[in-house]
Every structure is written in structure tokens, then in C-alpha cells.
Amino acid sequence: MGFFFRRKEIKASAVPETLPRHIAFIMDGNGRWATRRGLRRENGHRAGAKTFREIARTCFQRGIETVTVYAFSTENWKRPKNEVDEIMRLLSSYIDEAFSDFKNEDAEVRFIGRREGLSPELQSKMDKLERASEGRRYRLRIALNYGGRDEIVRAVNRLIECGEREVTEQMISGALDDSKAPDPDLVVRTGGDTRTSNFLLWQSAYAEYVFTKTLWPDLTPGEIDEILSDFSKRHRRYGGL
């Protein structure tokens, strides 16, 4: 299946020839990172937001066209209100900065996930940022209030609303939140758990997975290079031989 912990002995090397076109990250471990330092979990998310920018920038610099990050799931509302508020604040202030951020990397920003449930101010900022960054070469996708099953159900309902009575795989792919991006070639989960947690369920059918014990705020460009080197050695068969 290709699910395994990345081997530590793989050394960073020059950017490999076979790069993923699309890499997706489950940014797990912010809470533990903070708790281990005697800090509040919110501090972990703040550190995580910093790491997110560095890692996204690294991926674009390496030539990866699309980067998706799982910032907030449809299940994350169950967390204490303080923590939810802090993540929303971070996202909101990130969006403010994102108007200039990633300009150098020529990246457009897209949000995937359910818009309802987010504050009207946040929704309006998200729309503005998407419009302002449209047409750039690289694509940064932020999964916010996102659930893979929820996305598939909303896609099918969109097709039904358009009058379809029977759907095909192509039609579902085309009705997802952002059908412009290619499917992820590689999904990386930090924090040591080996779950997919309802992330890009439809799109990851043939993705390679890397699970690393590194907590998200500790992820470095050097480890990204190791992961890319590991990816370039994998033989993807897509169900064939």
C-alpha cells in the first residue's frame, strides 16, 4: 500500500528528478509541540502557522505546482472554543498577510471546504484573496472547515441540482471544491499518527503517503527534501503491474 514511516537514514540530496506535481499536508502535532514546552496549545498553532509558510514556500521553490494544507476540519469545531477562536484568528491574520505573501513565489490561493459556518468577515476575506491572487503559476490550497466525505456529498448534490440523475467519476471529480488542481501525488502527515482523517478522500485514491513522527512545527525544508527524495524512488503502479 505504500503506508510506512519514512526511514530516518534517507539523506537530503539535490532536488530529485521525479517531483510530485501536488503535495498535501496533514499538519498534525501543534498541540503536543506546545504542551511539551509547557505552553498553551494555541502557541503550537501559532508556531504551526509559521512552519506552514516556510514549508509551502520551500515546496514552490522546489518546483511543486500545487500545495494543499489541512488547516481546519469539519470535526475540529468539537475543540474548546478558545482553541477554535485562536485557529480562526490565525487564519484571518494569515489571509491579511497573504495578499503580499507568496507573490514572489507566484502562487494563487484557493480555499476548499464548506464556507457556511465560517464568519461572514472571514468568508469575504477568503473571496477577495482568491480573486486577488488568481492566475498565478503555483497553487496554494487551504482546506478550511473541510471534510472529505462532506466535499463528496456536496459535489454529488451540486450535480443533482444541475439535473443529473446518474454520475460518473469524472463528473464527481469536476464538481469537487477545486477541480482545477491535479490529484495529490503525495500526502504527508506529521505528528506520528497513521490516519487519513477524512482528508482529500476522493482525490487521494492513488496518492503515496508519508507519515513522519516529526511534529508539524518542527518540520524543516531539509526533511521536505528527504521526503521528496523518498518519493522519487517509489514505483507508482496505479493498480497495474
For position 32 contacting ligand FPP by CB under 6 A, the verdict is yes
Q: Residue 139: beta bridge partners?
A: 66, 108
For position 6 contacting ligand FPP by CB under 6 A, the verdict is no
Q: Which stretch binds ligand FPP (CB under 6 A): 43-51, 148-156, 169-177, 204-212?
A: 43-51
For position 87 contacting ligand FPP by CB under 6 A, the verdict is yes
For position 52 contacting ligand FPP by CB under 6 A, the verdict is yes
Confirm if 31 and 47 have CB atoms less than 8 A apart. Answer: no
Q: Which stretch binds ligand FPP (CB under 6 A): 10-18, 41-49, 150-158, 203-211?
A: 41-49
190: CB partners within 8 A, 6+ apart: 25, 26, 27, 28, 29, 212, 213, 214, 215, 216, 219
Q: Is 76 a catalytic residue?
A: yes
Shortest separation between residue 216's beta carbon and ligand FPP, angstroms: 6
For position 90 contacting ligand FPP by CB under 6 A, the verdict is yes
Shortest separation between residue 52's beta carbon and ligand FPP, angstroms: 5
Q: Is the dihedral of CA 137, 228, 224, 90 positive or negative?
A: positive
Question: Which parts of the chain fold into alpha helices (H)?
Answer: 30-36, 41-62, 81-98, 120-133, 148-161, 169-175, 221-232
Q: Is 157 a catalytic residue?
A: no
Confirm if 215 and 190 have CB atoms less than 8 A apart. Answer: yes
Position among 23, 25, 31, 112 found at the interface with ligand FPP (CB under 6 A): 31
For position 71 contacting ligand FPP by CB under 6 A, the verdict is yes
As given in the structure block, the three cell numbers for residue 166 are 446518474
Binding site for ligand FPP (CB under 6 A): 27-32, 45, 48-49, 52, 69, 71, 76, 87, 90-91, 94, 142, 191
